[in-house]
Structure 1
Amino acid sequence: MTTLICDCNQTMPLDAKALGAALHEELTLHSTLCRREAGAFQGAIRTGQEVVVACTQEQRLFGELGTQTEGAVSPVRFVNIRETGGWSRDARAAGPKIAALLAAARLPEPPPVATVTYKSAGRLLVIGPLDAAEQAAALVADVLDVTLFAQGPGTAGGAQARRFPVLGGRLTGLTGWLGAFDVQWSADNPIDLDLCTRCNACIVACPENAIGLDYQVDRSACDAHRACVRACQVAGAIDFGREAGVQQERFDLVLDLRPATAEPGFTRHAPPQGYFRSDGRDMGVLLRLREMVGEFDKPRFFAYKQKLCAHSRNETVGCHACIDICSAEAISSDKGRQQIQVNPHLCVGCGACSTVCPTGALSFAYPGATDQGARFKTLLSTYAAAGGKDAVLLLHSQERGQALIDALGRAAQLRRAQGVPANVIPVPLWHTASTGVDLWLSALAYGASQVVVLATEEEAPQYLAGLQEQMDVAQALLHGLGYTGSHLRLLRAGDALALDAALQSLRQTRQVLPPVAARHGVAQEKRATLELALDHFLAHAPLWKDGLPEAIALPAAGAPLGAITVDTKRCTLCLSCVSACPAGALQDNPQLPQLRFLEKNCVQCGLCASTCPEEAIALQPRLLLTPERAQLRVLAETQPWACVRCSKPFGTLKAIEAMLERLAGHAMFQGEALERLKMCSDCRVIDLYSSQREAKVTDL
């Protein structure tokens, strides 16, 4: 591995010797690596070793140099050390952070995952006022096959030249994704737009002005004079007796020029790939449309393990956190199969579902938790080894979040802002909602003083609510163990100066942390990682001196840990909760009528409470700190019921008594029938057969 660092024309105070010592590599400091010293880059990429270039601004230039360099075989990675640390008021203290960023850039790439493929032939549907639709279509028609769906003439009064196919009627449905948008409409416009010559005779003839220059009839204004029909009798384009049939057509792309609240349409926060809302004048949208022809792949961002899912059992719904938080509406309940279903074409890879999933049934696959954990561990261990103190991990998105950090770095270089503090380590994520309590606590166990998630204007409101709930749970765990301070924070900033002020305010906070860093690795299984992190914090808990509490109460919203309470007066030991529990937290006893509970396994999904016919179960979010958390304990028990005929136990005393009480007044369970309910199944059959036989003998 070869690392190339550059102080960008001596605008960054880099210490090559100290950085090399942290990376165990001899480094040479360059000042114009992208210009006069480009030969050093060309020499490095001829060696065959992987090359890390500490510059992202000139990534394109280095790519071009690579293609022009004979014998260049080395793979190249790029990392930003300029805006993230070198351009800051305290850049001279940023050496440990820069070393950490360089070390993380040297980690192997995450293993590839399955992909989701989209195919687009460029068939574009533009929905909106006819004049605006035609103007937008004209800018992309040389690349795309455009069809218009007119929704009014527009302010310019429509257009006369027939340049594009125009659909008319009432839009009734719009579903799908890139390459597979299904559009449904009711063809209730009396004017056949294929026959219409746009002579405007109908508009002139209509006394109610019910026909616009989009050549659609406003039925609410039309007074059935039919003057338009007479005016169009040569072309024959107008027929009020035509049946309004439902039509459907498929398109690859959709450009929607209607207001954001218009229906039908995609009004959710994360629309599907290939769907764009615009006013028609946004050149960025039109340029993106022009590029969306061909075959496109994206990672399948999620992995789903149905056996861990706490969504549904026995046609009863328990946990639905993933469905509630998904801003793309890609997750739905499959009641027939008793599980959730994720549409990979609608999934945008935010990872919020994995963050709020209490069991780990849904996990973020690219990068997986193991790779992300290794990244956090490398950043923090390198930072500490290089002498860094009070590390703060700043988790941000690769798009808007990265843009804010870049803008802040430039503002600091121009002396307009402080810049990213030396102890704040920016970590780009595919999406800020893709990490949760297991990774956050692991990062804190590895030595971070704080984990800060940067929220910009791109996140859905439910993402921010879900992240805050998870942070509240993690913070409650830490405070309950005696770790004072604010270890987790959701930081909101809309511009570079707001981000600057928020980052500077972090300097005023102090957190109590374990005296030693954890050594555990992050497992792909969420619950396993959470347990390892909790064990580390428990082993070094400040409250050990004064005595730990028996349990730490957790917020009800989003808590993945806890117990249940059972009203033993109402519980009949029917054990329906046992069959519903997806985590094995509730168990029966084959030898005795008992309901047993293993608290360590409980995920607080609520399926047991929803299933219980007696409404005898309530959730209790908490972390139990006594050894009983990992031990089976009896929550309810009763005496067995013995068959009144053969004395064999076949049920519980409470269950049989409850059944007798409820059916005592029923007409079908009187006399002998009621008595048979006290028998085992074998004896019921024998008694019923004997009774019928005696009745036949009596009749004879």
Structure 2
Amino acid sequence: GWGRQRAQAGPKIASLLALAQLAPPDPLPTVSYDSSQGRLLIIGSSAMAFGWAERLHANLSVTVLVNDSQPLPMQKHFFIANGNLQSLDGFLGQFQAQWQRDNPIQLDLCTRCGACLEACPEGAIDLSFQIDMRKCKSHRDCVSACGPIGAIQFNQVEEAIEDQFDFVLDLNERPFMAMPEKPQGYFAPGGIWSNQALAVQKLLGSIGEFDKPKFFAYQESSCAHGRNGQVGCHACIDICSTQAIQSVFKSGKGSVAVNPQLCMGCGACATACPTGAMTYANPTVPYLGQQVKTIVQTFSQMSQGRLSPTILLHSGAAGGEKVLDQLGKMARLQPDRYSGLPSNMVPLSLHHIASTGIDLWLSSLAHGLAEIVLLASGEESAAYLPALADQVALANQICTGLGYEERVHIISLDHREDDVLAEEQLQLLDQRLNNFGAKKTVAQLATFVFSKDKRQTLEMSLEHLLLHAPVPLAPDESLLLATNALIGGIEVNQDQCTLCMSCVGACPGGALIDHLELPQLGFIEKNCVQCGLCVQTCPEDAIQLLPRLSPISKRKEKQFVNEAKPFHCIKCAKPFATEKMMTAMFAKIGNHPAFAGSAQDRIKMCSDCRVIDLMSQPAPNKE
């Protein structure tokens, strides 16, 4: 029962048993790693790097990159390179490193014979076998002493060197790769020896060939990243903690490229994506929807409708289960101080807490959940929390605006040492979990299917919540939302807009529509994802985003946000532009001689008549 209310936990236990009987989700495609060559790059201070290189060279092909002046090992058990690391990218089995030589002596060729030390008249070379360029007078006696070995090359200083590695052991206090979630195969334990030993142990266990799931699917046609060379949405790029997502522009159209080897499966990109172009597959929203329906049906049946379930979403084995186990244990051992999980709160394990968003939450409320609680247990990147908090706030704006009260909550815990939550934090967690109370579900439970299409799932949930709202919106009323909302409308300044229709071609969701024959700009609000591409594309700066939730009819129906009097061809009378556009064009042309006389009349013709008029003109006299 996980708490003091274990005597009332029958519906919750029945719900968990029903979840366990569901068929597992479909298997995911996989991506592969191959680190079997065992190529290791160690970066950091020479003292620490050489120590680990001595221990590991028997099992791995070790390269140490040094940029300090420490005595070198006299025996060459491993490869030593000197220089400053310039770039490092990649993943387990495919790291690409580039460094710049910063000294004439190339340590990979140097035999440590010491001839250069004896030959140097200034004493500019020591046992680090590096030349102090402040002392060197360029006699080049050292070059002669090195002879055929050729390890001293003054002309190759600052040369760029590239190499590939399977692993990187970064012993610097500040890791070279600065992203919150480091790629697999990159170990950055810092300067503490015990942490280094644990990292090396993990490293040695990573030699070989491995597969992992491909956690995402991407549909480029739905992506709102860019059109006409303009950048619109970049939510997935901003939130990715592994920097696995990159911007790609081809012929003016923007999309994103995701490196599946770098992806760690948090799902935050799919949560942040307004269009549903990026979807999460571990598991999918339809499978989570099946779990939600199972919980609601089983819980309601076992409680005979007296209670409605709340779900607690947590990150499973990554940290959430350990926190809940600790809380349940304390509720049993110290029932006077801890209550544990309420009897109506059903825990649901996820691969990562950032993988669910407003589409799942609102749909789950529509299907009968009382509330949704997200437990961020401290092991996830801090970069996810603001984005999750924004979506929670947006969901609650919609719920409270429609009279449902706040229904979605997030609880954030600090990072835990040794997977144990401090007593003060555990008590605060216990209080938060037991302060939600028991809210009623929506009056009429939804029957729609949780779809793989994010916009379809979101739209069906919004329509259901609008239809049964305790505080319904008036036909001409809209609920204003935060600026980062993924639903809303637009406002067009009709005095500035010339109906050039640039925005129509830029809109990825088909929210903006032109008329085939008349100068009219149409808009369907439910298709708008608030990506801002129309704002970026508009040459007249005539468009503003309006994040809001409008009534069902207003969201579904086509509205005309601007229309103008058509301009008719002076030859055939066919409408082909607007009077406002033509007036603006003539104002810009002015008295330019290139458009004087018949040339100006041609501008007033449609494209067909313009060609006919040009071809009917007499040929110029060449005499």
User: Over residues 27-61 of structure 1, what are the superposed CA-to-partner deviations in whole Å (9 max), with x where a residue is unaligned?
Assistant: xxxxxxxxxxxxxxxxxxxxxxxxxxxxxxxxxxx
In the other structure, the counterpart of 1:129 is: 45
Partner of 1:21: none
Quote the Cα distance in structure 2 between the aligned partners of 1:119 and 1:411.
44
Q: Shift of the alpha carbon at 1:184?
A: 1.5
Tell me the CA shift for residue 447 of structure 1. 3.0
TM-score if structure 1 supplies the norm length? 0.80
Q: Deviation of residue 644 (structure 1)?
A: 1.9
Tell whether 2:181 aligns with 1:270: yes
Which of 143, 155, 161 aligns to 1:247? It is 161
Instruction: Using the TM superposition, give the Cα deviation of residue 571 of structure 1 relative to its aligned residue in structure 2, in angstroms.
Output: 1.0
Is 2:360 the counterpart of 1:442? no
2:434 is the counterpart of 1:507: yes
Tell me by how many angstroms 1:426 deviates.
Answer: 2.2
- In structure 2, what is the equivalent of residue 402 of structure 1? 321
Alpha-carbon distance change, 94 to 626 in structure 1, aligned in 2, over 3 angstroms: closer
Residue 212 to residue 368, structure 1, CA distance change in 2 (3 Å): farther
| Contact kept? 2:399, 2:407, Cα under 8 Å | no
Which residue identity does 1:552 align to in structure 2?
L
Q: CA deviation at 1:421?
A: 3.5
2:379 touches 2:415 (CA, 8 Å); kept in 1?
A: no
Tell me the residue number matched to 1:602: 528
Looking at structure 2, the residues matched to 238 and 321 of structure 1 have their Cα atoms a distance apart, in angstroms, of 50
Q: Which has the higher contact order (CA 8 A, sep 6+)?
A: 2
Letter matched to residue 289 of structure 2 = G
Q: What is aligned with 1:554?
A: 481
Cα drift, residue 524 of structure 1: 0.8
CA distance in 2, matches of 1:205, 1:500: 71
What SS does the corresponding residue of 1:565 show, helix, strand or coil? strand
Does structure 1 retain, via aligned residues, the 8 Å contact 2:376–2:413? yes
Q: Map 1:110-259; keep pairs closer than 5 Å.
A: 110-121=25-36, 122-152=38-68, 159-198=73-112, 214-217=128-131, 219=133, 221-224=134-137, 229=142, 233=146, 239=152, 241-244=154-157, 245-259=159-173
Decide whether the 8 Å contact of 1:640 with 1:652 is kept in 2.
Answer: yes
**Deviation of 1:260 (Å):** 2.1
Alignment correspondent of 2:380: 459
Q: CA deviation at 1:281?
A: 3.5
Gaps of 5+ in 1: 1-84
Look up the match of 2:297.
381
Conservation of the 8 A alpha-carbon contact between 1:128 and 1:150: yes
Give 3-state SS (helix, strand or coil) of 1:542's partner. coil
Q: Indicate how the Cα distance of structure 1 residues 679 and 582 shifts in structure 2: closer, same or farther if over 3 A, else same.
A: same
* Residue number among 317, 320, 331 corresponding to 2:234 in the alignment: 320
Aligned counterpart for 2:558 among listed residues 632, 641, 665: 632
Quote the offset at 1:500 in angstroms: 4.0
Question: Which AA in structure 1 matches 2:276?
Answer: G
Taking a change above 3 Å as real, the CA distance of residues 203 and 375 of structure 1, as seen in their structure-2 partners, is farther
1:591 aligned to which of 517, 520, 533 = 517
Task: For residue 348 of structure 1, give the secondary structure of its aligned residue in structure 2.
Answer: coil
User: Percent identity at matched positions?
Assistant: 43
1:536 to 459, 464, 474: 464
Post-superposition Cα deviations, 1:232-285, rounded to whole Å, max 9, x if no partner, equal: 557966635232332221111111112325xxx321111222111123542321
Deviation at 1:468, TM superposition (A): 1.2
Letter in 1 for 2:429: A
Where 1:242 maps in the other structure, the secondary structure is helix
**Equivalent-residue separation in structure 2 for 1:666 and 1:268 (angstroms):** 56
Alignment of 1:290-329 (within 5 A): 290-329=204-243
Cα distance in 2 between the residues matched to 1:200 and 1:102? 74
Report what 1:8 is aligned to: none
How far residue 451 of structure 1 moved from its aligned partner, in angstroms, is 1.5
Letter in 1 for 2:466: L
Query: For 2:59 and 2:78, how far apart are their aligned partners in 1?
Result: 14
Contact 2:124 2:132 in 1 (8 A): yes
| In 2: Cα distance, 1:547 partner to 1:488 partner | 28
- Equivalences, count: 604
The answer as to whether partners of 2:517 and 2:575 remain within 8 angstroms in 1 is no
Match of 2:400 in 1: 479
Aligned residue identity for 1:181: F
Contact residue 125 and residue 251 of structure 1 kept, 8 A: yes
Distance 1:605 1:565, change over 3 A: same
Structure-2 separation of matches of 1:682 and 1:233:
81
Gaps of 5+ in 2: none
Q: Distance in 2 between matches of 1:566 and 1:334?
A: 30
Residue-by-residue CA offset, 1:155-192 (whole Å, 9 max, x unaligned): xx654443211122222221211111111122342113
Amino acid at match of 1:296: F
1:577 pairs with 2:503: yes
Matched, 1:668 2:594: yes
CA distance in structure 2 between the partners assigned to 1:238 and 1:226 by the alignment? 16
CA pair 101-533 structure 1, distance change in 2 beyond 3 A: same
Counterpart CA distance in 2 for 1:286 and 1:602 is: 50
Q: 1:588, 1:289 → 2: CA distance?
A: 58
Distance of aligned partners of 1:138 and 1:97 in 2 relative to their CA distance in 1, 3 Å threshold: farther
Q: Is the 8 A contact 2:119 2:141 kept in 1?
A: yes
TM-score by length of 2: 0.89
CA distance in 2, matches of 1:645, 1:547: 49
Question: 93-102 or 298-307, which moves further after superposition?
Answer: 93-102
Q: Which residue of 2 aligns with 1:6?
A: none
Partner of 2:344: 423
Distance in 2 between residues matched to 1:463 and 1:368, nearest whole Å: 20
Contact 2:342–2:433 (8 Å) recurs in 1:
no
CA contact (8 A) 2:232 2:531 kept: yes
* Gap change, CA 1:352 and 1:216, over 3 Å in 2: farther
Give 1:102's aligned amino acid. Answer: L
- Residue 347 (str. 1) matches residue 263 (str. 2): yes
Q: CA deviation at 1:204?
A: 8.8
Aligned counterpart, 2:455: 527
Preserved contact between residue 664 and residue 670 of structure 1 (Cα < 8 Å): no
Q: Residue 149 of structure 1 contacts residue 166 of structure 1 at CA under 8 Å; is this kept in 2?
A: yes
Which deviations, in whole Å up to 9, do the C-alpha atoms of 1:664-686 show, x marking residues without a partner? Answer: 24453333323321122233233
The code of the aligned residue for 2:269 comes to C
**Aligned counterparts of 2:476 and 2:199: Cα–Cα separation in 1:** 57
Aligned in 2, Cα 1:238/1:454: closer, same or farther, shift over 3 Å? same
Q: Which whole-Å CA distance do the structure 1 matches of 2:432 and 2:378 have between them?
A: 20
RMSD: 2.8
Deviates more, 1:385-394 or 1:336-345: 385-394
Amino acid at match of 1:671: G
Q: Deviation at 1:526?
A: 0.8
For 1:239, the aligned partner's letter is I
Q: In the alignment, residue 148 of structure 1 is paired with which amino acid?
A: V
Task: Kindly indicate whether the alpha-carbon contact (under 8 Å) linking 1:553 and 1:623 is maintained by their aligned counterparts in 2.
Answer: yes
Displacement after TM superposition at 1:413 (Å)? 4.2
Q: Distance in 2 between matches of 1:582 and 1:549?
A: 27
| Alpha carbons 1:124, 1:147 under 8 Å: kept | yes
Aligned partner of 1:284: which letter?
L
Aligned pair 1:288/2:206, yes or no?
no
In structure 1, distance between residues paired with 2:541 and 2:275: 24
Counterparts of 2:347 and 2:64, CA distance in 1: 45
